[in-house]
Amino acid sequence: MSEKLSQAQLKELKKCFDLFDSDGSGSISSNELQNLFESLDIKVRDEDLDEVMRLMDRDGSGNIDFKEFVDVMADQFFRKPTITELEIAFDYFDKDQSGYITEEELFFAISRFKGDLTKSDVQKMIQVIDKDKDNKINKKEFINLILNNSN
């Protein structure tokens, strides 16, 4: 599946990989993966972390190299998410459980990955996504955005 990725997709994956590979060793360790989950406020049990490592570390080296990362992530580029997965993702972004993703919630979520994000950038994103023009993203708008941009 990874051979179907465009150069732009590979470049994006490399940026993500380098972000996760916090020590610059060229591989992602179990500790780095744990730190990633923690930075996203995702609580992961040791057993679950071990399972993720087992699934991604295909050569059994104890670390995830870039090829293994690409092989696993490539499947995600071509897989359409389910409605349930999108609802869970929406609920993750909707920190105050208001039923909407506000400008502040979107800024907080995206700025964790993209450090040079501005409030103006987030306002522009909301203007594009927000079909009912209430300056926030509801679940339907979120799901439509993702489904219309996948595959």
Say which DSSP state 79 is in: P
Say if CB 107 and CB 123 are below 8 A apart: no
Whether this prediction's pTM lies above 0.85 is answered by no
Say if CB 56 and CB 64 are below 8 A apart: yes
Residue 134: predicted pLDDT:
95
Residue 151: predicted pLDDT:
46
Residue 53: predicted pLDDT:
93
The per-residue pLDDT string of the chain (151 residues; one tens digit each, 9 = 90 and over) reads: 566 788 988 998 898 899 889 999 999 999 999 988 887 777 889 999 999 999 999 999 999 999 999 988 887 777 788 999 999 999 989 999 999 999 999 998 887 766 678 889 999 999 999 999 999 999 999 999 988 875 4
Q: How many helices (H) and strands (E) does the chain have?
A: 8, 4
Residue with tokens 């406020």: 41
Residue 108: predicted pLDDT:
87
